[in-house]
Amino acid sequence: MELNNLENLSTELGALLQKKNMFFTSAESCTGGLLSQSIVSVPGSSGWFGCSFVTYSNISKHKILGVSKDSLKRFGAVSEEVVTEMVDGAVAESRADLGVAISGIAGPGGGSPDRPVGTVCIAWKLKDKQAVRSTFLFEGNRNEVRYATVVKSLEEAIELIK
């Protein structure tokens, strides 16, 4: 049932993107491609989805998306500053019209007092506009955090282009 929800949100996003003749991209870290998987589960998604980036390591965030080493060191991978640079890089690299970037701590380990397990930063960007970004604290186990992250990513992307 949960995957149906992702597919329904992805279908809604795709319909809006097609209507506006727009393309979508994503840059994912803790979700490891789950957002992209939900997108490509939609028949015809190649009409509005060109590529995504799974940049799990800091070095891949830097080399593939152009996230500055300084930002990674100063703010950490799970920060609004880094997801903003991730989405900027993804939109620039893919030439998409709308992008989403995700970085977080899905657990069960890796959390800290200031960034507990379930902390996820997400940024959304319409081409030629400044990114919108936010930090969330999702409840649950590793897969529940990843799932909630993708739901929030899709819901807010839909709202952004409505």
Q: What is the pLDDT of residues 61-85, one digit of tens each?
A: 999 999 999 999 999 999 999 999 9
Q: Please name the residue that has the structure tokens 């049932």.
A: 1
| pTM of the shown model | 0.96
Provide the token pair at 10: 């992805």
What is the model's pLDDT at position 2?
65
Listed in sequence order, the residues at least 6 apart from 26 whose beta carbon sits closer than 8 Å to its beta carbon are: 35, 36, 39, 52, 53, 90, 99, 100, 101, 102, 153
Q: What is the pLDDT of residues 14-51, one digit of tens each?
A: 999 999 999 999 999 999 999 999 999 999 999 999 99
CATH number for 78: 3.90.950.20
Average pLDDT, the chain: 96
Q: Provide, rounded to the nearest whole percent, the portion of the chain with pLDDT above 70.
A: 98
CB atoms within 10 A of CB 132: 15
Which residue from 45, 55, 46, 129 is spatially nearest to 90, judged by alpha carbons? 55
The whole-angstrom separation of Cα 87 and Cα 91 is 6
Q: Please name the residue that has the structure tokens 């003749």.
A: 21
Number of compact structural domains in the chain: 1
Say if strands 98-104 and 119-126 run parallel, antiparallel, or are unpaired.
antiparallel
The whole-angstrom separation of Cα 13 and Cα 35 is 12
Residue 33 structural domain: 2-161
pLDDT level of residue 1 (50, 70, 90 thresholds)? very low
Residues 18, 20, 25, 28: is their CA dihedral positive or negative? negative
DSSP for 75-93, please give it: H-SSSHHHHHHHHHHHHHH
